[in-house]
Structure 1
Amino acid sequence: MKIFAETDRIIMRELLMSDSQKMFEMDSDPEVHLYLGNKPYTQLSQSEENIRFIRQQYEDNGIGRWAVIDKESNEFLGWSGLKFITTTTNNRVHFYEVGYRFLKQHWGKGYATETAKASLKYAFETLNLSHVYAMAHGENAGSRHALQKSGLIITEHFDHEGIKCDWFEISKENWLKQQNEG
């Protein structure tokens, strides 16, 4: 099992099939899907298929979302990390996006910001990327706040599959400046 990032509270490791039950618990919750533009899962097999899909991204792209595990309890909190986007989004293709999704009971505890920051560190220090992007539903104040607190800035607003979204980005240069200032 590969660990990609670690903070004082969590580890970020590859997603495993053993995570499928907690993934299903998260993705079957309608509130978790409120700003995602898709429907909650209704079967465990959907979570298993999603994990297979993400694990294939590890093979194909060298990166994919990671399981977020509480160090103290060893509990699955959700997923976070980088994804290499190969389809056109906001007139862009072939870029790295930071994102996250957590079980509702773990909302508001700073995990989105914490894991986004750890993901950016991995992106710029390990992968040596020049830029990382993100997007959030325009009405998802929590996600927008977490991305901004992580250092990303809103550079434009756009329509994604009928949903008004904010586009965020950060360059390695700006990330390094933030690290030196903070």
Structure 2
Amino acid sequence: MNLILETDRLLFRPLEIIDADAMFAMDSNPEVHKYLWQKPIQNIEETIKNIESVQSQYVKNNIGRYATVLKETAEFIGWTGIKFVNDHIENGHTNFYDYGYRLNEKFWNNGYATEATRFWLEYGFKQLNINIINAYTHADNAASNSILRKCGMSFIEDYQDDDGSKWKWWQVEFNHFKT
């Protein structure tokens, strides 16, 4: 999969093993995992397995999370994108398209997550012909919840995972999406 996509400031490309060091730096940071089950990655081998898992999603589903890179500096800032969830049940759902992102802490508060979210929602609807895109965020993650709302996703309901953590379920339909 050699698809490279872009916005004004960002490039999106398939994740590669060369991203492992930067991705490990991001995923080993406890602040990045504050609203992600609080389980930072402990070694780079876990990161490599995660990249390989995403690469298999590209093959199986023709979509997945993409490396997100600053155009200006070519720095890996995290990953963003749409994946097809068919490997587990989330809030009673499986076989759905999920939008998600994770950025390295040093790139927070620059509007990158909003820019990427707007791009991926539009791409999902207009290029991939997806009719409904979901997302889920930790209930206490005010920043991510605000970004999803600002980008046109509708809050559907709160739910609890198996550990008792409270999450928010989001959704946007193609016929309600405004660019």
TM tier, smaller: over 0.9
The aligned residue for residue 26 of structure 2 is 26
Partner Cα distance (1:169, 1:18) in 2: 33
Alignment of 1:39-118 (within 5 A): 39-86=39-86, 87-118=88-119
Cα distance in structure 2, aligned partners of 1:55 and 1:76: 17
Distance 2:4 2:82 in 1: 11
Q: When the two structures are aligned, how many residues end up with a matched partner?
A: 177
Are the counterparts in 2 of residues 5 and 122 from structure 1 also a CA contact under 8 Å?
no
Asked whether the equivalents of residues 132 and 169 of structure 1 are also in contact (C-alpha less than 8 Å), the reply is yes
Given the two structures, how large is their TM-score scaled by the length of structure 1?
0.94
What SS does structure 2 have at the residue aligned with 1:101? strand
Deviation at 1:38, TM superposition (A): 4.3
Moved over 3 A (4+): none
In structure 2, the partner of 1:164 is 166
Write the letter of the residue equivalent to 2:131.
S
In 1, the alpha carbon distance for the partners of 2:147 and 2:55 equals 26
Q: Please, what is the CA RMSD of the aligned residues?
A: 1.1
Q: Distance in 2 between matches of 1:93 and 1:15?
A: 24
Paired with 1:152 and 1:78, the residues of 2 have a C-alpha distance of 21
**Structure 2 portions without partners, runs of 5+:** none
1:126 corresponds to:
127
The equivalent of 1:36 in structure 2 is 36
Confirm or deny: 8 A CA contact 1:65 1:80 kept in the other structure: yes
Distance 1:85 1:112 in 2: 21
**Cα contact 2:30–2:38 (8 A) shared by 1:** no
Distance (Å, rounded) in 2 between the aligned partners of 1:146 and 1:129:
20
**Contact map agreement 2:35 2:141 (CA 8 A) in 1:** yes
Against the structure 1 CA distance between its residues 155 and 84, is the aligned structure 2 distance closer, same or farther, given a 3 Å change threshold?
A: same
| Structure 1 unmatched runs, 5+ | none
Of 53-62 and 33-42, the range deviating more from structure 2: 33-42
CA distance in 2, matches of 1:94, 1:38: 26
Q: Distance in 2 between matches of 1:60 and 1:13?
A: 17
Q: Take 1:19 and 1:133, find their aligned partners in 2: how far apart are those partners?
A: 26
Aligned mates of 2:60, 2:78 — CA distance in 1:
23
Q: How far off is 1:3 after superposition?
A: 3.4
